[in-house]
Structure 1
Amino acid sequence: MTFFSPMRVRSSLAPLFPGVLLALVVATAAKFLSEHYGAPVMLFALLIGMAFNFLSDDPRFASGLETASKTLLRAGIVLLGLRITAGDVVALGPWTFLTVLGLMAATIASGFVCARIFGRGWRFGLLTGGAVAICGASAALALAATIPPDKDSERNTLFTVVSVTALSTLAMIAYPILFAFLGLADTQSGFMIGATVHDVAQVVGAGYSISPEAGDIATIIKLVRVAMLPVVLIVALLAISRGSGGRGGAIRLPLFVVGFVVVSALNSLGLVPQAVAAPGIDLSSWMLVIAISALGVRTNLKDMMQLGWKHVAIVVCETLLLLGLALLAVETGIAGG
């Protein structure tokens, strides 16, 4: 008897095919529109996916959509480690590095404070604070996979992805104009872009629209924020473990967190050849877009509209706080010099 016979594999994968194929088609359409019209691919994936929400109730699609929104998501996050090298972090210098960490910590803390002020739960505060502080949609998805779910988890995750993607797009346009008006040097503008814009793609677009030097600095600063993702996930797990009445001690790290750390470490040591890293990063991008597409299909737009203005206010407050603190750091000469 064989455990991996073709028939067994086929019978296991067949129920997943319709849902995964649907998510792949939506993701492909989103990629096409993004490349031809310049809007964020994640936003297209969400909007197109929500248009097919009526299929989420069809049992033929359910298991495949769930697999695409969870399993492919985790695999895509693991491959995000191919973006990170320790050399990029070291090159920043200690003060800039510590400033970035401080900005991230303050932003995540503000998520809990804002959630409390506006009457929302700690899950939403951690989700939005982490998304704004780290890397937008990717961080939101990673945190959503870590935080214990409740009845509002999926629509909160979708809302967070939509809001941080939209705000990141606005920032890509507005921040270079703002920083030029404030008379910031290219190095300072690069730091500000990398430290405050949510998504990697928008950081690259905004930074290089100023100058090559600003673009390089912005990209490195942003990748440092991405590199802190596993640290934030581990801290979140510890807090959740203790806050839920756990006895402390060892916690079980999700495999995708361990995988992210391992891949990042291998990449930092130069053990991942470019011929592998480049397609791996592309594959990661595809997996995340497919996951977002599946999440969009599974989420009802009516449920999203019922969340109310308080959800929007929380994300906007976190974004403005991060911008203000980063600007203070630059103006006082702590970073960006």
Structure 2
Amino acid sequence: MAQARLTGLMDRAQQLFPGLLVAAVIALASEFIAEHYGAPAILLALLFGMAMNFLSAEEKTKPGIAFGSKTVLRLGVALLGVRITTEVLSVLGVQTILLVVSGTILTIGFGLVASRFFGFKYRFAFLSSGAVAICGASAAMAIAAILPKDERSEERLIFTVVGVTLLSTVAMITYPILTDLFQLDHRTTGIFIGATIHDVAQVVGAGFSVSEETGNVATLVKLLRVLMLAPIVLVASLVIRSMARSAEVGEGRPPLVPLFVMGFIVLAVLSSLGWLPASVTAFASAASRWLLLTAIAAVGMKTMPKDIANVGASAALFLVAETVFLAVYILIGLTLLPGL
């Protein structure tokens, strides 16, 4: 029995290896170029993957690419939990936490309501607003993992990842200028940057371009938004499960609590309690980044470039509207609540 199981695992590994190897090489190349030229690694991995989309039809690489775009993705999201610490809650204060949390929830609500005017259904509305409100591409991939699948699932995910990454890059450049125009102090600027820019890398870039204090505060605020990922995905999965019908989903109702969400929560609790050694936390955090880069490369290889254009200009305007809503809400909150 054990020998048969081992043989089965070896056969499965041999099937997955070629596709995963290609995705991993793309991830490595993306990280190398990002470190030397300053471009977002997640966007490079996506674009390089799309350039090699022909491999998703090859019998040797197809299983590994499919595995990378689903299982590797979920494992990477689960490992994000190690970034959560009690320092986030103790340093920021109650008012800041309430402002950031309310901004996250209201942005998702805005997306779900405004989607009707843009002609989108709840799947794209939740995917895009969750990415804008929480943590950009990572949130998009986590949310995509729980949404019912259809023929346009991949192109919606790709479009959202590209959109929020580009908007994050624009915000990294423009938001420090905006906060200077409003004469915000360094701490308040950090709160604004951390609460509004989508991706972690751009938050760090924008924050530390102002000052070290701004960068540190922005990073903590961003981690608070990352902390919102698990409860929001958990609640959404329960709602989707209650709505799902076997005829619509094709695979029956989704699990009560996705395993990767449980993994995120467990790791977040262990990290917050200080039960994880620093070496384990550092390794898991780095592993999460590499797994997500590999996963997005695999997603890119499953997508035809023309599929992104099919989403349309209205989707781009929708993403911009969600981004502007979040920025305006946080800016108003910081104005009305001085001394945060």
CA distance in 1, matches of 2:160, 2:3: 41
Partner of 2:10: 10
Gap runs ≥5 in structure 1: none
Deviation at 1:202, TM superposition (A): 0.7
Amino acid at match of 2:138: S
**1:1-337 aligned within 5 A:** 1-2=1-2, 6-244=6-244, 252-333=256-337, 337=340
For normalisation by structure 1, the TM-score amounts to 0.95
What CA deviation, in whole Å up to 9, does each residue of 1:49-96 have, x standing for no partner? 110011111122111001111111111111101110123223222111
What CA deviation, in whole Å up to 9, does each residue of 1:154-179 have, x standing for no partner? 11001100100110011111111111
CA distance in 1, matches of 2:4, 2:74: 23
What CA deviation, in whole Å up to 9, does each residue of 1:222-266 have, x standing for no partner? 0000001111011212221333369xxx96101000000000100
Deviation at 1:304, TM superposition (A): 1.0
Structure 2 counterpart SS, 1:91: helix
Structure 1 counterpart SS, 2:145: helix
Amino acid at match of 2:113: V
CA distance in 2, matches of 1:146, 1:240: 8
CA distance in 2, matches of 1:255, 1:190: 34
CA distance in 2, matches of 1:3, 1:75: 27
Amino acid at match of 1:331: T
CA distance in 1, matches of 2:189, 2:3: 57
Give yes or no for contact 2:234–2:258 (8 Å, CA) kept in 1.
no
For residues 270 and 4 of structure 1, do their structure 2 counterparts lie closer, same or farther at Cα, with a shift above 3 Å needed? farther
Give yes or no for contact 2:20–2:64 (8 Å, CA) kept in 1.
yes
Percent identity between matched residues is 46
Amino acid at match of 2:204: V
Give yes or no for contact 2:77–2:142 (8 Å, CA) kept in 1.
yes
Give yes or no for contact 2:75–2:288 (8 Å, CA) kept in 1.
yes
Give yes or no for contact 2:238–2:256 (8 Å, CA) kept in 1.
no
What CA deviation, in whole Å up to 9, does each residue of 1:79-121 have, x standing for no partner? 1011101232232221111111110111001111222111111
How large is the RMSD of aligned CA atoms in angstroms?
1.6
Amino acid at match of 1:33: I
Amino acid at match of 1:41: A
Amino acid at match of 2:269: A
CA distance in 1, matches of 2:192, 2:235: 26
CA distance in 1, matches of 2:317, 2:197: 17
CA distance in 1, matches of 2:242, 2:15: 38
Count of residue pairs brought into register by the alignment? 333
Amino acid at match of 1:204: V
Structure 2 counterpart SS, 1:150: coil
Deviation at 1:11, TM superposition (A): 1.0
Bigger mean CA deviation after superposition, 224-233 or 88-97: 88-97
CA distance in 2, matches of 1:322, 1:210: 21
Structure 1 counterpart SS, 2:270: helix
CA distance in 1, matches of 2:242, 2:58: 39
